Amino acid sequence: MKINQPQTANLREAGPIVNQIIELQAQELAAERLLFSSDYISGEDLSGIDYSCVEFNNCKLLNCNFNKSGFTNVYFKYCDISNCTFENGYFNQVEFLSCKGVGSKFQNSTIKHVLFNDVNFSYSNLEHSKLQKVIITSSDFSSASFAECILKELELRDVTLNNCDFFKTPLKGMDFRESRIDGIILSDSYKELAGAIVDTYQAAALAHFLGVEVK
The domain spans of the chain are 12-210
User: What is the predicted pLDDT for the residue at 93?
Assistant: 98
Output b/e per residue, 137-156; b: 16+ Cβ within 10 A: eebbbbbbbbbebebeebbb
Contacts of 2 (CB under 8 A, 6+ apart): none
User: What is the predicted pLDDT for the residue at 213?
Assistant: 60
Neighbouring CB atoms inside 10 A of 194's CB total: 10
Candidates 3.20.20.70, 2.160.20.80, 3.90.1150.10, 2.60.120.10; correct CATH number of 12-210?
2.160.20.80
User: What is the predicted pLDDT for the residue at 113?
Assistant: 98
- Separation between Cα atoms, residue 211 and residue 74, nearest integer Å: 46
User: What is the predicted pLDDT for the residue at 215?
Assistant: 58
User: What is the predicted pLDDT for the residue at 72?
Assistant: 98
- Separation between Cα atoms, residue 44 and residue 84, nearest integer Å: 10
> Position 213: which residue type?
E
Q: Residue 143: how many CA atoms within 13 Å on its side-chain side? A: 7
User: What is the predicted pLDDT for the residue at 210?
Assistant: 64
User: What is the predicted pLDDT for the residue at 67?
Assistant: 97
Q: Closest by alpha carbon to 198, among 211, 181, 185? A: 181
**Tens-binned pLDDT, residue by residue, of the chain (215 aa):** 999 999 999 999 988 888 888 888 888 889 999 999 999 999 999 999 999 999 999 999 999 999 999 999 999 999 999 999 999 999 999 999 999 999 999 999 999 999 999 999 999 999 999 999 999 999 999 999 999 999 999 999 999 999 999 999 999 999 999 999 999 999 998 899 999 999 988 888 888 776 656 55
Is residue 149 a contact partner of residue 125, using CB atoms and an 8 Å limit?
Answer: no
Q: What is the pTM of this model?
A: 0.94
Q: Where are the alpha helices (DSSP H) in the chain?
A: 17-27, 200-206
